[in-house]
Structure 1
Amino acid sequence: MPSITVARPCPDLCPVQAHAQGLAQKRSRVPLATKCNVNGIVAIAPTKLSLPRTLPRPVLREVEVNSLLDAYPACAGIPAEYIRDHLPLSTMRAALQAVATSVPESSLPKELDILMNDIVAAACPTHMFAVYGDASPACGQKRRVTLFPAHALVFGTHCANLPALPASQPSTSSARATVPVVPVRLPSPETFPLLQSYLYTQQPPSLAPPCDSDLLRLAPHAKKVYGLWRNACVLGVVDAPLYDAIEASWERTLSAIQACS
């Protein structure tokens, strides 16, 4: 997906981000230190990364579809679960992969034009997510933002904490469709593609620890699993199978780290 750097700040995605971060902080964490295992604490080579022993599953609450009714009035009275189960995900995935757009290099626009073709027209994305991280850019540096085309129906029916998205009904009858750009702040922007892939395939991501791993390979893997979990908590993803995959991978990853220590 296209990447740009922008200097202007973007608003927070939602207030529950602090709650998700607090979930991890309330659990005892596993500091990574050189080859020691004291009182059951897993540890590896010195690093700033620290790992919680568990990744607690958030309370899963069903999505309210009211925010989608202006754009999709036919959804009135239909449970979010039913909508999720009947989304044309394969057509939507194909449209995402076929999206082409012109991205400015110096600033984040409010709207972007998507070039239209038959594949995109079959399920045109409704928004362009501008995903960025928690960390403030260093002095004199610009914030890194990565753009991802997205469908309001996919994210709006899977993510209980997603704020109402700007109205968008892109026309597919011309050579270009204009969609709003939505700033999305996440604790782990680098793992957003994993989450988006799950939402569009309903296949839990492959999160098995690297085979024949050493500590230097396990630490980045643990960070990836942890980042995916944090993003899912912040967005309020309602899919239990995703958390099943995350929890299973986390247990295997910590066991592998402990074995290497």
Structure 2
Amino acid sequence: MYQHQHPASPLPNLQLPRTLNRPAYTEVQREAILDVEPNLGQVPFEYIRKGLHARGEELMASITAAKVPSQLPRSRLSTSFDIAPTRGTPPTHILAVQSSPSSKHPVSDIVFLIPTHQIVLAANCAHIPRIPASRSQIRSNGMLAIPVMPLVVPHAEAFAPLHSFIVAHRLDRLMSALLPVPPSMLSGATTRGSGSGAGAGPFAHVSAPQVATYLAASAAGDKMSALMALTRTVSAIWRNACALGVFDRDLWAALDFSWEVILGAMNMVATGAV
């Protein structure tokens, strides 16, 4: 059974927090829901999210079917993209995701393009800017013109895994982006409401020491550098979740578990245990 434990001894010469802090919980704004789906004005937020989770695969299929460039220079970004109509609910917006500038990373000219559904963002992201109502238009050639919505996050390159989880709520797919381990090692993980007991986290039946040992042993080349790269991925998704106000319990359990496992693997490498 997974227990949240810290490495036994300090990691040498590494400035990493032992845990990933969570911001104070904030619920999404009712006005944000009303902006995009006025008929959901009286529906409880949790019920809206469960309904979206049930449609997750359908929504992801429509996102995947929307053929747009994965990234573009900002100078080539248009106000809309044409996509071919498909079965199901088409995306309402094309997100133009850009990293927020910092002293280490000045303003980037590259934006990442991700089709999305406005209700998914409104129902899951408490801190996202108000989403303009979609005004998708049908062209004379039958194509749908989907408007572009700029979005600034701390790490644009790490937005896609978070967005996919928000849409489909697939814990297995999120973990594949966080930890390079065989899926069978995480097969005991369950999303909330799909088999885990009351109060039990989704990783209650996953062996963190076993996963950490595998991670340490399988790291290629400079093991510590390889593990540090994993901390950057987890940290980037964590920062994006904090900035957007995503407070899904399964998401946070995945981030906490991954962080603990990676630190445990780093400790094994640092102490010569692996």
TM range (shorter): 0.7 to 0.9
State the secondary structure of the residue aligned to 2:136: coil
| Aligned match of 1:94 | 61
Q: Which structure 1 residue ranges, 4+ long, deviate > 3 Å from structure 2?
A: 101-106, 135-142, 171-174
* Conservation of the 8 A alpha-carbon contact between 2:93 and 2:134: yes
* Conservation of the 8 A alpha-carbon contact between 2:85 and 2:144: no
> What residue ranges of structure 2 are gaps of 5+ in the alignment?
1-6, 182-214
1:217 aligned to 2:226? yes
Query: CA offset at residue 181 of structure 1?
Result: 1.7
CA distance in 1, matches of 2:238, 2:264: 18
State the secondary structure of the residue aligned to 1:256: helix
| Aligned match of 2:169 | 202
Paired amino acid for 1:113: F
Match of 2:238 among 222, 229, 245: 229
Paired amino acid for 2:10: I
1:216–1:106: structure 2 CA closer, same or farther, 3 Å change rule?
Answer: closer
1:240–1:61: structure 2 CA closer, same or farther, 3 Å change rule?
Answer: same
Number of residues of Structure 1 aligned to a counterpart in Structure 2: 218
Identity %: 31
CA distance in 2, matches of 1:249, 1:139: 26
Q: How does 1:46-85 map to 2 (within 5 A)?
A: 50-85=15-50
Higher mean alpha-carbon deviation, 192-201 vs 203-212, is at 203-212
| Aligned match of 1:145 | 111
* Conservation of the 8 A alpha-carbon contact between 2:99 and 2:107: no
CA distance in 1, matches of 2:111, 2:224: 30
State the secondary structure of the residue aligned to 1:86: helix
Could you list the per-position Cα deviations for residues 92-131 of structure 1 after superposition, in whole angstroms to 9, with x for gaps in the alignment?
Answer: 1111111024787662545212322223xx2111111111
Q: How does 1:118-157 map to 2 (within 5 A)?
A: 118-119=86-87, 122-135=88-101, 143-157=109-123
CA distance in 2, matches of 1:251, 1:140: 31
* Conservation of the 8 A alpha-carbon contact between 1:195 and 1:228: yes
| Aligned match of 2:80 | 112
1:181–1:251: structure 2 CA closer, same or farther, 3 Å change rule?
Answer: same
| Aligned match of 1:255 | 264
1:105–1:64: structure 2 CA closer, same or farther, 3 Å change rule?
Answer: closer
State the secondary structure of the residue aligned to 1:52: coil
| Aligned match of 1:190 | 157
* Conservation of the 8 A alpha-carbon contact between 1:137 and 1:143: no
1:247–1:137: structure 2 CA closer, same or farther, 3 Å change rule?
Answer: closer
Paired amino acid for 2:48: I
Q: Which has the higher helix share?
A: 2
> What residue ranges of structure 1 are gaps of 5+ in the alignment?
1-36
1:142–1:85: structure 2 CA closer, same or farther, 3 Å change rule?
Answer: closer
1:165 aligned to 2:131? yes
CA distance in 2, matches of 1:228, 1:200: 15
State the secondary structure of the residue aligned to 1:244: helix
* Conservation of the 8 A alpha-carbon contact between 1:124 and 1:172: no
Query: TM (normalized to structure 2)?
Result: 0.70
State the secondary structure of the residue aligned to 2:166: helix
Paired amino acid for 2:22: R
Query: TM (normalized to structure 1)?
Result: 0.74
CA distance in 2, matches of 1:245, 1:233: 14
RMSD: 2.9
* Conservation of the 8 A alpha-carbon contact between 2:36 and 2:118: no
